[in-house]
Amino acid sequence: MSTNEQQRAGEQMGKARQVQDKQDRPKKQIKIAIARFPYTGSGGSAAEHPSVGEWILRTVLKIKNFANSNSKLASELADCGHEICQNVSLLRYSDTPITMTRNRAVVDAMKKNCDILYMVDADMVPDLYVGVNQFAKPFFDVSLERICNSIIRDDPPCIVFAPYCGPEPSPISPLSESRPYVFRFVASGNHRDNAHIKLEMMTRNEVINRGGLEKVDAGATGLIAIDMRVFKVIPKPWFEYEWTDETRSEKASTEDVYFTRNARLLGCDLFVAWDCWAGHVKPTTVGMPSPIYADHIAEEMRQAILSDIRSDCRIVNVDYLGYENANAKEHKEPELAPGGTAKRRKKARTSKKSSH
């Protein structure tokens, strides 16, 4: 065997030993907890939408089979000495207030040394558009990859949540709208010293056709994945209501906005997963049929209807085109509609033989 062959053989043996050492080295397990909150209001029994249980079942099966999935994330975790623990901590709380049960879920996840905490509310339909919309992706897959990358790279702690909208308007407040629970900080003034910074909910039009992961400033916790390192950054209590005054008779913000906003302000990354829309199940009150009143229609639309101008018609200045003689028999003064609006129902016909 030549010197070069001996050198190559030595290199191959060295690489084989490195691979074997990596396989033999104990891997750090990333432990996952899933918390659910099936509170019915009476406290006597637990209930939740069937989609929640189905999603938990699918998620647990994914975790159990993750090591054998041959996914890119599984390979990256193995290269960094990590793996997903197959034993999932399932947590269930049928109690009130929700601030208490969310805080209790965090405490219990800490006791079990979990690295990622998932929360799913009783009125959620996770992965609503998966299999229906070509861009939709499973929330567990998207959130797990993002949080695991933050852990193995030692990036700032991060949170990923699924977007969903609020309840539909009721019959007695028809002018309200179902808006997405996604918030951004905005300034109410132009001058830095006098500007008032506040959270503002994104509009329905703003979120249409958004995709991927986007950093935002606050969001909902109905379907959320939390890097447990977050709770080393933000102070207790992690979930709490804020009130308009000392009587605590009116909420200023709910526990989900309180938690996500504080995490964002203290340097954690907060992502909304636009490809992972969830359904939000709420009872709907159906009222009496209602007409479309004239004062609910934009003035431009009303004028367009009253003018009666059709898309297949043109308004032509006949005198200017020199058609007054050629079309003298056909030309009539426009008939006046009630209120003095001219009805232009006839199309202006031009002869191919007419000279210009």
- Give pLDDT tens digits for 243-276: 999 999 998 899 999 999 999 999 999 999 999 9
Provide the pLDDT for residue 131.
Answer: 94
Other Cβ atoms closer than 10 A to 280: 23
Provide the pLDDT for residue 25.
Answer: 58
What residues does CATH 3.90.550.40 cover in the chain?
Answer: 27-280
Provide the pLDDT for residue 186.
Answer: 87
Provide the pLDDT for residue 349.
Answer: 42
Provide the pLDDT for residue 293.
Answer: 73
Is the separation of the CB atoms in 206 and 183 below 8 Å? no
Is 79 exposed, middle or buried, given 0-12, 13-18 or 19+ CB atoms closer than 10 A? Answer: exposed
Continuous H helices in the chain: 3-24, 50-64, 72-79, 98-111, 139-152, 204-207, 255-265, 299-307, 318-321
What pTM was computed for the model? 0.75
14/8: higher pLDDT: 8
Provide the pLDDT for residue 27.
Answer: 79
Report residue 306's pLDDT band, with 50, 70 and 90 as the boundaries. Answer: confident
Whole-angstrom distance, CA of residue 157 vs CA of residue 151: 8
Lowest-confidence range among 3-12, 44-53, 68-77, 210-219? 3-12
Provide the pLDDT for residue 212.
Answer: 93
Lowest-confidence range among 178-192, 205-219, 240-254, 305-319? 305-319
Q: Where does 27-280 sit in CATH, by number? A: 3.90.550.40
- Give pLDDT tens digits for 19-61: 455 555 577 999 999 999 998 766 567 889 999 999 999 999 9
Question: By percentage, how much of the chain surpasses pLDDT 90?
Answer: 54
DSSP code at position 235? P
84/6: higher pLDDT: 84
Which runs of E-coded beta strand occur in 71-196? 82-84, 89-92, 116-121, 124-125, 158-161, 182-187
Nearest of 206, 204, 54, 41 to residue 130 by alpha carbon: 54
